[in-house]
């Protein structure tokens, strides 16, 4: 099992002083690290239509970026290019094993593991990301420069490549296999491969209020909520027709606020919204669907594993009713299933012991069977 190994500071210190604040190199954060995927298997994934991949290179000194799928790399030569594949944890259980070492940050903040294969001199160029990332170095060495947060001019080096002006590095270092570079949002950085290398970026997402409100609007429309019209009985006589006065403004705000003050509504929205995956899951429905009894019996013998990238959450506001959110869908299994619902969301691998309270509830067992049949969870062979 992969484990994060800190020598220079504690995890508490990291969260207090670095997370979302400052970049830092964690030397040998993954000791004895061996690649989790081969370049050939990565190229195999980049062949697939449903996998998000990119090639970045320079042609006659000009940056180029192409979106996959890719069938050939012959036009690229041996140097100066990178293949970047998004959400590899969805497709490779071995790469998904890089997620648990970062479980000290909740899963709802997690995004995906991106894998980058670079030839010598390859990289995506100097840029700024809007998310936190732990760049874990696999085989090969890579030189990383990270600049300070601040005013940095960004420009399109290519239609699909947003770059940043040259910056003074506050970190300028070579990463070796097992080293980790943590970069919070807003810090310009540039990684150039010194030799053929693989790196694994464990990325975390942050949502803007704009994205959350837009999602909330979709949620209330879908569920037909918040439909009560503005109402103003016993309104005082208005004197300036064109004026939306302070009292009216308060009423408008209160109407909107009433949605945000509804804990269940916001919890249901947050659970559904945050449990949706951005990239496709590798769902492999069973050719011969199982019955509830099959699933319960098999669970006694084999571990039930969550497919890579599947997002499952519960919230304090509703977990007492056995509510959880799986891949954007709300499920309610009743108060008695609370511990099973929590275990389902907290653990990547499930056992009968963890699910005991749920296995006594037919609705929970039926949902589990449906999930197994659809490929959301699979029995480890």
Residues in contact with ligand SIN by the rule CB under 6 A: 82, 84, 116, 123-124, 129, 133, 189, 191, 199, 201
Using rule CB under 5 A, residue 186 touches Co ion: no
Binding segment for Co ion (CB under 5 A), chosen from 123-131, 290-298, 338-346, 349-357, is 123-131
Nearer to Co ion, 161 or 225 (CB): 161
Q: What's the rounded Cα separation, in Å, for the pair 312 and 368? A: 13
Token readout for 339 is 């511990």
From the list ligand SIN, Co ion, none, partner contacted by residue 116 (C-beta under 5 to 8 A by kind):
ligand SIN
Minimal distance in Å, beta carbon 201 to Co ion?
7
> Across the chain, which distance is largest between two alpha carbons, in Å?
79
**Min. distance of Cβ 9 from ligand SIN in angstroms?**
23
Token look-up 């016993």 returns 234
Residue 171 binds Co ion (CB under 5 A): no
In the complex with Co ion, the residue whose CB is nearer, 191 or 358, is 191
Residue 165 or 222: which CB sits closer to ligand SIN? 165
When CB distances are held under 5 to 8 angstroms depending on the partner's kind, the choice from Co ion, ligand SIN, none that residue 191 binds is ligand SIN
Q: Which does 262 bind (CB under 5 to 8 A by kind): ligand SIN, Co ion, none?
A: none
For the bound state, the minimum distance from the C-beta of residue 352 to ligand SIN, rounded and expressed in Å, comes to 41
Here the contacts of 159-162 (C-beta below 8 Å, separation 24 or greater) are 159/65, 160/54, 160/65, 160/67, 161/56, 161/63, 161/65, 161/124, 161/125, 161/127, 162/127, 162/128
Q: Which of Co ion, ligand SIN, none does 199 bind, CB closer than 5 to 8 A by kind?
A: ligand SIN
Residue 379 CB-half CA count within 13 A: 18
Query: Taking the complex as a whole, how short is the minimal distance between the CB of residue 19 and ligand SIN, in angstroms?
Result: 17
- Can you list the alpha helix ranges (DSSP code H) found in 201-245? 209-222
Count Cα neighbours of 177 within 13 Å in the Cβ-side half-sphere: 13
Q: At its nearest, how many Å lie between ligand SIN and the CB of residue 117?
A: 9
Binding test (CB under 5 A) with Co ion, winner from 22, 64, 108, 129: 129
Length of the chain: 381
Q: Which residue is nearest to ligand SIN (CB)?
A: 116
| Torsion angle of the four alpha carbons 141, 146, 152, 154, in this order, in degrees rounded to the nearest 10 | 20
Contact 86, 51 (CB under 8 A): yes
131 lies in the site for Co ion, by CB under 5 A: no
In the three-class reduction of DSSP (H, G, I as helix; E, B as strand; rest coil), residue 302 is classed as coil
CB of 144 to ligand SIN, least distance (A): 8
149 part of the interface to Co ion, by CB under 5 A: no
CB of 200 to Co ion, least distance (A): 13
- Is 94 a binding residue for Co ion by CB under 5 A? The answer is no
Cα separation values, 337 from 69, 70, 347, 354, Å: 43, 46, 15, 11
Nearer to Co ion, 129 or 248 (CB): 129
Which does residue 184 touch among Co ion, ligand SIN, none (CB within 5 to 8 A, set by kind)? none
C-beta separation of 266 from 340 below 8 A: no
257, 262, 267, 272 alpha-carbon torsion, rounded to 10°: -70
8 Å CB contact between 23 and 170: yes
Report how many residues bind Co ion under the rule CB under 5 A. 1
- Min separation Cβ 334 and ligand SIN, Å: 44
- Considering beta carbons, is residue 18 or 379 the nearer one to Co ion? 18
Structure tokens at 199: 């790196």
Residues making contact with Co ion (CB under 5 A): 129
């Amino acid at each position: 099992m992969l484990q994060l190994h800190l020598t220079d500071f504690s995890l508490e210190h990291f969260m207090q002083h670095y997370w979302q604040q400052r970049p830092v190199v964690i030397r040998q954060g993954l000791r004895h690290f061996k690649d989790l995927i081969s370049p050939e298997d990565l190229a195999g994934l980049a062949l697939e239509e449903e996998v998000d991949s990119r090639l970045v290179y320079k042609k006659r000194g000009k940056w180029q970026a192409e979106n996959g799928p890719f069938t050939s790399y012959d036009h690229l030569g041996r140097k100066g290019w990178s293949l970047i594949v998004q959400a590899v944890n969805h497709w490779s259980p071995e790469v998904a094993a890089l997620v648990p070492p970062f479980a000290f940050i909740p899963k709802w903040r997690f995004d995906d593991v991106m894998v980058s294969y670079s030839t010598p001199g390859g990289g995506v160029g100097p840029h700024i990301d809007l998310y936190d990332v732990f760049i874990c170095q696999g085989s090969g060495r890579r030189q990383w420069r990270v600049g300070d947060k601040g005013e940095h001019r960004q420009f399109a080096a290519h239609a699909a490549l947003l770059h940043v002006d040259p910056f003074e590095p506050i970190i300028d270092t070579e990463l070796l296999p097992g080293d980790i570079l943590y970069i919070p949002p807003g810090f310009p950085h540039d990684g150039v491969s010194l030799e053929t290398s693989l790196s694994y970026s464990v990325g975390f997402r942050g949502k803007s209020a704009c994205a959350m409100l837009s999602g909330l609007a979709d949620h209330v429309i879908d569920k037909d909520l918040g439909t009560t019209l503005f109402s103003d009985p016993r309104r005082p006589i208005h004197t300036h027709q064109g004026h939306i006065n302070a009292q009216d403004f308060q009423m408008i705000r209160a109407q909107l606020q009433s949605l945000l003050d509804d804990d269940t509504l916001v919890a249901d929205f947050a659970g559904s919204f945050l449990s949706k995956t951005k990239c496709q899951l590798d769902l492999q429905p069973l050719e011969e669907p199982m019955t509830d009894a099959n699933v319960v019996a098999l669970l006694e013998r084999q571990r039930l594993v969550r497919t890579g990238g599947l997002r499952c959450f519960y919230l304090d506001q509703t977990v007492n009713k056995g509510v959880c959110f799986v891949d954007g869908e709300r499920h309610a299994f009743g108060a008695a299933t609370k511990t099973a619902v929590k275990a389902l969301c907290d653990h990547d691998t499930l056992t009968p012991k963890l699910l005991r309270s749920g296995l006594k509830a037919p609705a929970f067992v039926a949902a589990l069977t449906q999930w197994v049949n659809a490929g959301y969870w699979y029995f480890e062979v």
